[in-house]
Amino acid sequence: MNLSSKIYIPGHTGMVGSAILRCLQEKGYTKFLLRTIEELDLMRQADVEDFFKQERPEYVIDAAAKVGGIEANNTYRAQFIYENLTIQNNLIHSSYKYGIKKLLFLGSSCIYPRLAPQPLKEEYLLTGELEPTNEPYAIAKIAGIKMCESYNRQYGCNFFSVMPTNLFGPNDNYNLETSHVLPALIRKIHLARCLENGDWPAIRQDLDKRPIEGITGSASEEEIIGMLDKYGIELNAEMQECRNAGMKNSAESQSNHFTISPFHQFTRSPVTVTLWGTGNVYREFMHVDDMASACVKILEDYDVSGFRFQVSGSEVDDSHLTSHDSPPSFLNIGTGVDSTIRELAELIRSIVGFQGKIEWDATKPDGTPKKLLDVSRLKETGFVPAYTLEEGIRRVYEGYKG
């Protein structure tokens, strides 16, 4: 690649695509082919082919996908498999047809078997059953990996796949109906802190930016509290009694507003956040800017045809590998460090400043028990993440509040 190469990034407005775009811009790349979903519908094969034919990109970074958390994956199963298969098929085939120099396909760590040995090595792909709750999405991503590998073998293409761990960062999805676990925890615990402090301006500001089921900051306190309760942000009995008394006094004084008293006026926590599952499953998290940095390094330095990384001008020695375990044409991207969801929730509670209770609903699904990536091959490139989990969350939360 050179700084004037024509680079197409489908999905550039999302969290992953926008992070990769920022990273490339910071490195001095200048020629980007960017289209929103309104400008180019990736579900339409003819439209995608016309775009490639007219614009002739040299490099493609496929960050376009339908994504969501455990509830969204389990609910919209048909949409997740159909839309992701269609989008990636159109992009991969057009990349071959119009002779792009290199394609980077972004997958997901959910491709690995539910009970695979930990940490997850690239060679564990297709060695066991998938996690049922996100199976359609995982199957689509596995198909993308295998499609890239097949085009490489049959047509001599230079298509490479990366499997990022769970990501978070700027432009994340905070919709409580569809978000992944970390942004959902940030938002729920933020709203809980605002509720326990009686900070209605902050609650209304949050809902104006990101309405929940059509509820905005202009809704009544009753409507907002009812909606928050639905998503596990609940007032306890003492707080509710105080609130009801306040509402009665407000009605008698012809006032239409009641403000919840701050936390310290109550003998116990006035707000409880109830979260899905047991909280005992393990997950690995990576700031999206670190992931983008790793992707750009791979895009610049990796050549699929040789199965070798070029590090500081010299090749990494992989002669010890047999033909059976030679490096596959995809690579894990992560930190190599995980924590339980319970530990994550407590970390976010500390960062946000929430003093209330966190409870767990074990009747809800946990998902895969543990999902830690083996990042040995990534480390061989010399890549080192810039953020710890705590540093990354603090940075993200400041941006979220802003």
Task: Tell me the backbone φ, ψ of residue 196, rounded to 5 degrees.
Answer: -70, -25
Q: Compute, in degrees rounded to 10, the torsion defined by CA atoms 118, 119, 125, 128.
A: 10
**Residue type at 315 in one-letter notation:** E
Report which secondary-structure segment, H or E, holds 194: helix 181-196
Q: How many CB atoms lie within 10 A of CB 219?
A: 17
Provide DSSP, 288-337: HHHHHHHHHHHHHHEEGGGTEEEETTEE---TTS-SSSPPPSEEEES-S-
Q: Alpha-carbon distance 63 to 67, whole Å?
A: 11
Residue located via tokens 């609650």: 203
Q: Alpha-carbon distance 143 to 149, whole Å?
A: 10
CB 329 within 8 A of CB 148: yes
Q: Which residues of 354-363 are buried (b: 16+ CB within 10 A; e: fewer)?
A: bebbbebeee
Residue of 119, 110, 117 lying closest to 373 (CA atoms): 119
CA dist 269 → 234, 238, 262, 265 (Å): 11, 9, 10, 10
Residue of 332, 340, 312, 343 lying closest to 374 (CA atoms): 332
Residue of 30, 20, 14 lying closest to 87 (CA atoms): 14
**Residue type at 24 in one-letter notation:** L
User: Of the listed 29, 112, 137, 174, which one is catalytic?
Assistant: 137
Q: What angle do CA 202, 206, 210 make, to 5 degrees?
A: 170
Residues 6+ apart with CB under 8 A from 10: 17, 35, 40, 42, 60, 61, 62, 63, 64, 87, 91
Please give the structure tokens belonging to residue 31.
């020629």
Task: Tell me the backbone φ, ψ of residue 357, rounded to 5 degrees.
Answer: -90, 150
Query: How many residues are present in the chain?
Result: 402
124 is catalytic: no
Q: What is the DSSP letter of 130?
A: P
Q: Which are the catalytic amino acids?
A: 137
